[in-house]
Chain A
Amino acid sequence: MKTGGRSFAGLIALVARRDYVRTVRRRGFVVGTLLLPLGIGAFMLLSTILPGVAPGAGPDLPGGPSGSGDYVLLVVDESELGLQPRPDGTMPVELVSRDEGQARLEAGTADEFYLIPADYPADPTVRRIGNPTSGFDVASFQRQAGQQQELALLLRTTLLDDAAVPPEAAQRIVAPYSLKTETTAGEPGAAGPSIAAFLVPFAFTMLFVMSIFITSGYLLQSVTEEKENRVVEIVLSSVPALPLMAGKILGLGAAGLTQVVFWVLSVLVVLAVLGDSGGSLEGVAIAPIAVLLGLVYFALGYLGYGAIFSAVGALAPGSREAQQYAGFFGFFAVVPLIFSSIFITDIGSPIVTILALIPFTTPAAMLMVVTLAPDIPWGLVVISIVSLGTFTVLATIASARVFRATLLLYGVRPGARAIVGAILARA
């Protein structure tokens, strides 16, 4: 609609551009945006300085994608087995005497060694001897897990050799089978669900929730600031409430997304620097239609919540109250994440369906449904999009009315009756 040389779209763009530029130029925004990548950078820097947590010396698990790294398995064999390191072992094995093991521990060149008793295998107790430690250390835990797996394989192959088991049978006892997955059509199938296949939908949902909270913060700040600065009446006399609100939602939403995208890119850059580009995302295959639907839910949810937060900013007598009210609505965005275990174990559960149909929880719930469900539940998709779309339109209209009716109430908390009256007032 174009009127008097101005158009609704033009006004929305003007308000959006101005609020976006003003927000991203703020020191708080710049600092907040850079804090995460700077934090990651600082962690990486520390990792290279401090031994044991260096990314390159990472605690690779046996059988992991890049082998055993720098770990060494120190073994003191006092038995009659005559242990010999396996040629295809997952990490180097050093057979040492008990005194040498002790000396290595005292010199700090080893963290532990494993003592095979003299009467092994009658006595299966293998002792791990190391310096005393306190607390939980992930690196030690992973290193020892790898060492113990290699030690188990080493003992098993040695025992099989002693028992004169034919090599092929011995190999099958150590590694009974290798799995190959095929579809009914005889085509190669997915190797199986990976951690990333679960994590990516959650990351997508978390992105939505983060965007909601970040944008709500900017929206509340903008609206309450204009109220408190007494600028709002001049603005409202220049722009109708609806384009003003829409401009703020889009402009500040874009500022929030800028921040989130910057963070995501930072994480991807870090992963690439660590040499893990794509590696962690193996096994993730989200259908393009699921991505498209995800964007639809993201956009609708974003607009709906944005409208509500604008009204909340207009309603609240001050910025503190605005944050409290917003927290109440923002909680609904998180609810599906609380039930995430049900989404993983039973996607057809009534709880999932209910969360998918309540407009406040629809976006986060359906983001998980469309990415986790083996087949997209089109019935649920259609109903939820219709209900969420209707809700978003109604919420936008109602919020614009509340926005318009309450924005000029300085320091006053309107009652429920006044709010309902504003919503039901004729356009």
Chain B
Amino acid sequence: MIEQRDAITATRGDTRTPAVTVEGVWKRFAQTDVVQDLSFEVQRGEVLGFLGPNGAGKTTTMRMILDIIRPDRGAITVFGSAPGIEHQSRVGYLPEERGLYRDVSILETLTYFGALRGLPTREARDRATRLLTEVGLGEAMKKKAAELSRGMHQKAQVVATVLHEPDLLIVDEPFQGLDPVNAELLRGVLLAQRDRGAAVVMSTHDMTDAQKLCDRILLIDRGWRLLYGRVPEIQRAFSDGAVEVRGAGISVDGARYPSVSEATQVDGSVRFLLREGASAQQLFRELADEGAAVDRFEVSTPTLNEIFIRTVAGDRRAEAVR
């Protein structure tokens, strides 16, 4: 145990050790394999978007990283060693199903949560007081949770998650049920934590948030990994060679351009689908040769939402970034 503790202490300054590694993990509930042969890493200072439809195994995986439940097979490490009590003071968790003690003041609840995460009680209380004041709950902090609005609860829960300045932040559907003000507050908190060097694992159904916040994404379905990588790389892999062009003298007849297989009119632009082996530069030259006046020329990349739908529906291009 002493060796393990030393190793943990050593990893605090070691930025090369991934915050989380998951290798070939399986988890079965009743007759269902909820997580199947799942592998991925989370680096410090990055936000990993954990995407997938309902029942994909996201929450189960997060709970295994948190050591709330254990995998049946495979290995998980957190800061280089098996997850457990040693790491709990370095992890912040905002679960999907979250609440507060209703008959206790939020300051008292947050102080308790901070103490559970290893902060001395006085320090936990001081930090909670400061952070609650910063998010506008200074006057409400001594009120019982039952007396506060839903929005106030949400702010307090966000504060509880980062109170102890965790090195690893795991947030499960963090924007679900948040009003726009608190959603923006949480986005700011997550990015601030990442910029501080913390690793962030965020599961979400909101692809707009994923695209805005995530450095890398991991898409799973029925426990299997479908996509894993940097967002631009995944978008490139899913790009179907389409180019959107706006301007004058641009023909919708694709046959006029040798590099084009198909052309369609879309909201004042023409969307060209390129032939296999053709490039966007080639099309640009052909348009110039035809005397077209190009105002806008954009290689179209699919949104994460499109990629999500296509991948879950079984797009073969997912294999390139699996």
User: A interface vs B, CB < 8 Å?
Assistant: 1-6, 8, 11, 14-15, 18, 22, 26, 225-226, 229-231, 233-240, 404-405, 408, 410, 417-418, 425-426
Contact = CB atoms under 8 A, between A and B. Distances in A.
Given A236-B66, A237-B68, A238-B93, 16 more contacts: A1-B1, A3-B85, A4-B8, A4-B89, A6-B85, A14-B116, A15-B116, A18-B112, A26-B103, A226-B101, A229-B102, A230-B95, A230-B99, A233-B97, A235-B113, A238-B113
A232 to B, nearest CB: 9
Contacts of A22: 101, 104
**Helix, strand, loop or mixed for chain B's interface?**
loop
A211 to B, nearest CB: 24
Nearest to A421: B30
Interface string B96-125: 011111111000000011011110000000
Contacts of B98: 230-231, 233-234
A230 B88 contact: no
A233 B95 contact: yes
Given A234-B93, A234-B98, A6 B118 contact: yes
A233 B118 contact: no
Contact of B116 (A11, A26, A229, A418): A11
B238 to A, nearest CB: 34
A231 B100 contact: yes
A6 B86 CA distance: 8
Contacts of B91: 237
A76 B282 CA distance: 137
B85 A237 contact: no
A3 B85 CA distance: 7
Contacts of B86: 3-4
22 contacts: A2-B5, A3-B1, A3-B85, A4-B86, A4-B88, A5-B89, A5-B118, A11-B85, A18-B112, A226-B101, A229-B99, A229-B102, A230-B97, A230-B99, A233-B68, A233-B95, A234-B93, A234-B98, A237-B66, A237-B68, A238-B93, A240-B85
Contacts of A233: 68, 93, 95, 97-98
The 10 lowest CB-CB distance pairs between A and B, nearest first, are A230-B99, A238-B116, A233-B95, A237-B93, A229-B99, A4-B86, A3-B86, A230-B97, A237-B66, A3-B85
A136 to B, nearest CB: 46
B30 A238 contact: no
A1 B2 CA distance: 10
Interface in B1-35: 1, 4-5, 8, 30
Contact of A239 (B88, B90, B101): B88
Given A3-B1, A410-B97, A425 B70 contact: yes
B117 A238 contact: yes
Interface in B57-89: 63, 66-70, 84-89
Interface string B30-51: 1000000000000000000000
A15 B112 CA distance: 9
B contact residues, range: 35 or more
B160 interface: yes
Nearest to B115: A14
Contacts of A237: 66, 68, 88, 91, 93, 95
Q: Which of A3, A235, A239, A418 counts the most chain B CB atoms within 10 A?
A: A3
A417 B90 CA distance: 35
A237 B68 CA distance: 6
B80 to A, nearest CB: 13
B160 to A, nearest CB: 7
A100 to B, nearest CB: 69
A22 B117 CA distance: 19
Contact of A408 (B8, B68, B88): B68
A234 B158 CA distance: 12
Contacts of B102: 229
A237 B84 CA distance: 9
B95 A238 contact: no
A161 B254 CA distance: 144
A240 B116 contact: no
A208 B87 CA distance: 39
A316 B245 CA distance: 61
A5 B87 CA distance: 10
A231 B110 CA distance: 11
A236 B101 CA distance: 15
B78 to A, nearest CB: 11
A353 B314 CA distance: 67
B116 A405 contact: no
Contacts of A240: 67, 84-85, 88
B14 to A, nearest CB: 16
A18 B104 CA distance: 12
B88 A238 contact: yes
A212 B8 CA distance: 41
A29 B115 CA distance: 25
A22 B112 CA distance: 11
A18 B111 CA distance: 11
A125 B102 CA distance: 74
A418 B30 contact: yes
A236 B99 contact: no
Contacts of A15: 116
Nearest to B30: A418
Nearest to B95: A233
Nearest to B5: A3
Contacts of A238: 88, 93, 113, 116-117
Contacts of B115: 14
A14 B115 CA distance: 8
Nearest to B121: A14
B83 to A, nearest CB: 10
Contact of A4 (B87, B95, B112, B160): B87
A410 B89 CA distance: 26
Nearest to A426: B70
Nearest to A236: B68
A6 B118 CA distance: 6
